[in-house]
Amino acid sequence: MAGDNESRMEKTVNALKEEYNSIRTGRASASIFDKVRVDYYGTPTPLNQVGTISIPEARMIVVSPFDKSLIGAIEKAIQKAELGLNPSNDGKVIRIAIPPLTAERRKDLVKQAKATAENYRTTIRNVRRDGNEDLKKQQKAGEITEDQLKLESDKLQKLTDKYIEEINKAYEAKEKEIME
């Protein structure tokens, strides 16, 4: 019972971290392409499965397609992903310069990260609510005593606090990364 709530909360925190990976900062990172899908002979395929993504310097990403005929499709997929990046190719590789973020854009990204964190905090609180409702049903059905209900509710609250703190830490780390 409590393990199910904890695993739901843990999955929530992991989903937040994954979503944060796709928020572009001023530094080159292969993870910003995690959601990019390339049309590979009619099949939407993750970018990292059709080419190698390398970072030769802090503000440059190079994508080397395994199949050179895909270079146009990869370029299109990166443009369609709305990452604010302009890929250019020389027939062999695609180069993507990562422009420095403007102060305005940094503020927008921090706002976006904050809103995302709040959505995930709400999800954690919903898990707590569902868990408490289950406990109350069990108590009504005579499966657990009132003391057990109180004990389990307290455990659930401690779990909630722990995972909300993890979300706060992830947000603070992302905010710092965006602002640097």
Distance CA(34)–CA(13), nearest Å, equals 18
- Looking at the fold, whether 53 and 17 belong to one and the same domain comes out as no
pLDDT at 121: 97
Beta-carbon count within 10 A of 5 CB: 22
**Which structural domain range is residue 147 located in?**
1-23+102-179
pLDDT digits (tens, 9 = 90+) for 85-104: 888 888 889 998 888 888 88
- Looking at the fold, whether 175 and 113 belong to one and the same domain comes out as yes
pLDDT at 111: 93
pTM score, whole prediction: 0.71
- Looking at the fold, whether 36 and 69 belong to one and the same domain comes out as yes
Return the minimum-mean-pLDDT range out of 18-22, 62-66, 165-169, 175-179.
18-22
pLDDT digits (tens, 9 = 90+) for 2-39: 679 999 999 999 999 888 887 767 677 778 888 889 98
